[in-house]
C-alpha cells in the first residue's frame, strides 16, 4: 500500500504488481465453487498486456468494501499482468468530475450515480463501450434491457450511446419479518401484492399491527417513504412510466403518481396498520423502526426496507432464523412481471487503453463477481456468476431475487434533481403522512420541480 497522486489528489491506493502470488489470493485458485475455467479463458484471451498500468477511481474507501474490491483486482492482475492502482476520496463523485474536466481522469471510473454519469457523457468525458459490450449486458445480465438503459446516455452531440456496465447491485424490494412470529400467528409469506394487502388486513382483524414504518433520518427525514413509492410505481405502472416520472416527462402530480402515493398511504396512514399509529411514521427513526419485529409481543410483523437494514437489527440477530425477508411482491392482476427497485455502481472508461478495455471485459467474467459475492455486501445480476459462491444464505436469497427480476430500476429519487429527489420529495412524504392529501403533496413537489427548470 502506498500513496500516489491521481489527478492531483493524494489518496491511498493499492498497486498490484503483475504475477500475483498464491498467498495474495483471498480464495486459492482451483478450490471451491468459483468459475476458475472462466478465469483461465479470460487470461488466454487477454495476453500481451503484461506491464501495462491501469488506474481505477471508485466509491469504495477504507475497510470492508475497499478491501474486498482489492481482493477481486488480484485475480485480474494475475490473469493479465496489468498493474492496477485504485483510488478514492471522501468526495469521490466531485473529484471524478474535476479530474475529467482537467483531462486527467483515471482509466476506469466507477460511480453509483447514473445521473452524474449522464452529465459526464454529455460533456464528452466518457468513452463509448461499443455494441459488443452493450449486447453482452443485454444477454448476460438479469433484466439486461434495464441495465443497458441504465448505462446509455446522450453524448455531447445528443446521440444515445452505451457507456457503462453494471457491477455490484443493491436490492431495495424487500420486506423483513420474523419467521417465528409468522409461524406462531399462522401467517404465510404473500406471493402477490393482493396477498400482501389481504395479509395486512388479516393481521389487523386478528388484533395485530402489520407494519413498522419510520421516516426519521435527521436532515434526510422522509427518504424511506420514497422507496415505498418507487416500489409501488413499479408495481402499478409500466417501466416506461417510471422512467418518464423520474425525468418529469410524466408530471409528479399525474394521476398515476397520485395513485402510488395513495397506495402508500393505504399502509402508512392507517392507525391500525402501523406501529405507534400514523402519527408516529414521520417521527420514528428509520434505524429504530425495525426493532418492533423483535419485541415481545411483536410491535409489528413486517418492515419494508433495503438489504442493508440488518445492520440495525438487535445484536445477535441470526438472519434466516430470527429474521428473514421476502420479495415485495408484484400484482397478479397486472402484466408487469417481477420488477425490482435497487441501486448499485456502474463502471465506465474515462481514459481509453487496452488495459481499461480488458477490465471492462473482466467485469463480465463470473470470477469478478464471485470473489466479492463470497465475502459480503455484494449482489450480482450476472447470470453466469455461481450463486453457490455467496457467503451466506441471506446474500444468496437476495441475489436470486435479482436474477429473477424482469425489470430493474434505479432508485428514482437518486435520479431526480437534488432539489426534488433529496428535497421536496422527502419533505412531501413527511407532509403526506402528517395529514396532507396525495394530490396536495404531488402538486407541491411538481411546483418545486417547475421552479428549477
**Number of neighbours of residue 451 by Cβ within 10 angstroms:** 10
Domain ranges of the chain: 2-171+343-410, 174-339+411-451
Give me the residues of the chain with pLDDT under 50, please.
1-20, 22-23
pLDDT on residue 347:
98
E strand or H helix at 38, and its extent?
helix 36-44
For residue range 13-57, list pLDDT tens digits in order.
444 444 445 447 999 999 999 999 999 999 999 999 999 999 999
pLDDT given at position 141: 98
The structure's pTM equals: 0.92
What is residue 59's predicted lDDT score, i.e. its pLDDT? 95
For domain 174-339+411-451, give the CATH number. 3.40.190.10
Q: Say which CATH topology domain 2-171+343-410 has.
A: D-Maltodextrin-Binding Protein; domain 2 (3.40.190)
Q: Is 174-339+411-451 the same fold as 2-171+343-410? A: yes
Q: In what order do the strands lie in the sheet with 324-327?
A: 303-304, 174-177, 324-327
- Confirm if 85 and 14 have CB atoms less than 8 A apart: yes
Buried b (16+ CB within 10 A) or exposed e, 118-150: bebbeeebbbbbeeebbebbeebbbbbebbbbb
Beta bridge partners of 379: 169
Q: Are strands 174-177 and 324-327 parallel, antiparallel or unpaired?
A: antiparallel
CA pair distance 51, 225, nearest whole angstrom: 50
Amino acid at each position: 500500500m502506498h500513496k500516489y497522486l491521481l489527478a492531483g489528489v493524494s489518496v491511498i491506493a493499492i498497486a498490484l504488481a503483475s504475477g500475483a502470488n498464491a498467498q495474495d489470493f483471498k480464495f486459492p485458485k482451483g478450490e471451491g465453487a468459483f468459475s476458475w475455467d472462466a478465469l483461465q479463458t479470460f487470461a488466454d484471451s487477454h495476453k500481451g498486456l503484461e506491464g501495462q498500468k491501469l488506474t481505477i477511481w471508485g466509491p469504495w474507501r477504507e475497510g470492508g468494501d475497499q478491501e474486498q474490491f482489492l481482493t477481486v483486482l488480484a485475480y485480474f492482475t494475475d490473469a493479465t499482468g496489468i498493474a492496477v492502482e485504485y483510488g478514492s476520496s471522501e468526495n469521490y463523485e466531485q473529484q471524478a468530475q474535476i479530474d475529467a474536466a482537467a483531462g486527467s481522469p483515471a482509466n476506469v471510473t466507477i460511480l453509483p450515480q447514473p445521473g452524474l454519469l449522464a452529465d459526464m457523457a454529455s460533456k464528452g468525458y466518457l468513452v463509448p463501450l461499443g455494441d459488443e459490450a452493450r449486447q453482452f449486458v443485454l444477454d448476460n445480465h438479469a433484466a439486461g434491457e434495464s441495465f443497458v438503459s441504465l448505462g446509455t446516455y446522450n453524448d455531447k452531440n445528443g446521440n444515445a450511446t452505451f457507456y457503462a456496465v453494471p457491477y455490484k447491485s443493491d436490492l431495495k424490494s424487500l420486506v423483513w419479518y420474523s419467521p417465528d412470529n409468522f409461524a406462531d400467528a399462522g401467517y404465510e409469506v404473500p406471493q402477490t401484492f393482493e396477498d400482501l394487502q389481504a395479509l395486512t388486513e388479516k393481521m389487523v382483524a386478528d388484533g395485530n399491527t402489520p407494519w413498522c414504518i419510520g421516516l426519521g433520518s435527521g436532515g434526510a427525514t422522509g427518504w424511506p417513504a420514497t422507496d415505498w413509492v418507487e416500489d409501488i410505481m413499479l408495481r402499478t405502472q409500466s417501466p416506461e412510466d417510471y422512467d418518464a416520472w423520474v425525468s418529469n416527462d410524466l408530471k409528479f402530480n399525474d394521476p398515476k403518481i397520485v395513485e402510488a402515493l395513495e397506495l402508500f398511504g393505504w399502509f402508512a396512514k392507517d392507525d391500525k396498520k402501523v406501529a405507534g399509529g400514523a402519527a408516529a411514521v414521520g417521527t420514528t427513526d428509520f434505524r429504530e423502526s425495525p426493532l418492533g419485529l423483535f419485541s415481545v409481543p411483536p410491535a409489528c410483523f413486517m418492515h419494508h426496507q433495503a438489504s442493508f437494514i440488518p445492520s440495525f437489527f438487535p445484536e445477535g440477530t441470526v438472519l434466516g432464523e430470527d429474521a428473514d425477508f421476502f420479495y415485495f411482491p408484484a400484482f397478479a392482476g397486472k402484466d408487469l412481471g417481477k420488477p425490482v427497485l435497487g441501486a448499485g455502481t456502474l463502471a465506465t472508461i474515462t481514459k481509453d487503453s487496452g488495459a481499461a478495455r480488458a477490465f471492462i471485459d473482466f467485469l463480465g467474467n463470473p470470477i469478478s463477481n464471485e470473489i466479492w459475492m463470497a465475502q459480503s455486501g455484494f449482489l450480482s445480476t450476472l447470470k453466469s456468476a455461481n450463486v453457490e459462491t455467496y457467503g451466506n444464505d441471506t446474500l444468496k436469497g437476495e441475489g436470486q431475487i435479482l436474477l429473477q427480476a424482469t425489470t430493474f430500476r434505479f432508485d428514482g429519487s437518486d435520479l431526480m434533481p437534488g432539489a426534488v429527489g433529496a428535497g421536496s420529495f422527502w419533505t412531501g412524504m413527511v407532509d403526506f403522512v402528517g395529514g396532507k392529501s396525495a394530490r396536495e403533496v404531488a402538486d407541491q413537489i411538481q411546483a418545486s420541480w417547475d421552479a428549477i427548470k
